[in-house]
A = this chain, B = another copy of it.
Amino acid sequence: MSQIRAKNEAIIIRAASRVFAEYGYAATKTATIAELAGLPKPNIYYYFGSKAKLYRAVLESITEPLLAASEPFLAHQDPVQALTAYIKAKLAISQDYPFASKVFASEIMHGAPHLPADIIERLQGQTRTLTQRLNDWMAQQLMLEVDANHLLFAIWASTQTYADFNWQIRMALDKKELDEQDFEQAAQLITQLVLGGCQVQSLPNANCEIK
């Protein structure tokens, strides 16, 4: 792949993410994407072939970060550390990929009609891994016995909402844009709800690293 192709594809994906996020797939005009990208419309078709293929490319661009967000969950043995890091990672996605997140959310909301089957499977596999981990901790008495699935739904919803329903949140906070501090407050609150609500305990033999 040529340099110029790679560069233009990146520009188009970026522009497309913003426009698809703002208007939704059907209401998005390829002309709008082209305009925002600073390119003539046929270039979009030259690089991506069709609106639908471009849309899939946008969906795929968010897949890796999304799957990577669960790494902290597996990296930490300690449930307090793992859950704290997971919530932070999930919020970071809302903060760092606000447009792609919304596109993804909109896709899920309408039953994922365009989401490739392999992505669905990878996400499902991740869900199973996470619930299993939570259930292990419960069996070890490191947290209260709750339904692991519903706990995950609550974490997903309350972290994604900062991207998906950004408008509503900005209205309530009376702010033009959410800043770093808002996300930190969100992280603190959600972490408090999860750790406090489920009485999550640190590992007895936790290695308390001094930073």
Contacts and interface: CB of A to CB of B under 8 A. Distances in A.
Interface of A: 22-27, 102, 105-106, 108-112, 120, 124, 127, 131, 144, 146-147, 149-154, 156-158, 160-162, 164-165, 167-169, 171-173, 185-186, 189-190, 192-199
A168 B114 CA distance: 14
A199 B193 CA distance: 9
Contacts of A196: 193, 196-199
A153 B167 contact: no
29 contacts: A22-B111, A23-B26, A23-B110, A24-B27, A24-B106, A25-B26, A25-B27, A27-B27, A106-B109, A108-B165, A108-B167, A108-B168, A109-B164, A110-B167, A111-B167, A124-B172, A146-B189, A149-B169, A152-B172, A153-B162, A153-B172, A154-B189, A156-B168, A157-B161, A157-B165, A192-B197, A194-B197, A195-B197, A196-B197
Contacts of A146: 189, 192
A9 to B, nearest CB: 25
A157 B194 CA distance: 14
B185 A147 contact: yes
Sorted from nearest, which 8 A-B pairs have the closest CB atoms? A193-B197, A26-B27, A26-B26, A157-B161, A196-B197, A157-B157, A154-B158, A197-B197
A157 B158 CA distance: 5
A198 B157 CA distance: 19
Nearest to A163: B109
A195 to B, nearest CB: 7
Given A106-B24, A110-B24, A127 B193 contact: no
